């Protein structure tokens, strides 16, 4: 079953987000198998929020082993994401 992961990091800035993507692009790890969607938004309070839909919890956890060290290197502090099962997903 697909899952939705919602991250609301305490310390994410636009520059940090760009740097994480640059590093993942450099290593060919920015389009992981199993990730269906990736959305980054800014809340009304100015906090960045990242939402991802994954094919499975296993795929999400596997990519976390790659992503978390990069986040730490860039200085992003994040709590565990809010995880929920996807009931429906409509493209377009």
pLDDT tens, residue by residue, 47-90 = 999 999 999 999 999 999 999 999 999 999 988 999 999 999 99
CB 39 within 8 A of CB 50: yes
Residue 91, in any domain of the structure? no
Residue 92, in any domain of the structure? no
* Residues counted in the chain: 92
Count of other CB atoms within 10 angstroms of residue 90: 4
CA-based angle 82:60:34, to the nearest 5? Answer: 130
Helix (H) or strand (E) holding 15: helix 14-26
Give residue-wise pLDDT tens across range 6-34: 999 988 999 999 999 999 999 999 999 99
Domain that holds residue 76: 3-85
For the chain, the domain total comes to: 1
């Amino acid at each position: 079953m697909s899952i939705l992961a919602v991250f609301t990091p305490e310390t994410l800035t636009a520059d940090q987000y760009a740097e994480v993507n640059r590093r993942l692009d450099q290593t060919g790890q920015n389009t992981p198998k199993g990730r269906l969607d990736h959305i980054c938004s800014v809340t009304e309070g100015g906090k960045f929020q990242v939402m991802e839909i994954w094919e499975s919890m296993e795929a999400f956890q596997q990519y976390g082993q790659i992503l978390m060290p990069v986040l730490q290197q860039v200085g992003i502090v994040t709590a565990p994401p809010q995880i929920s099962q996807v009931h429906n997903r409509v493209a377009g």
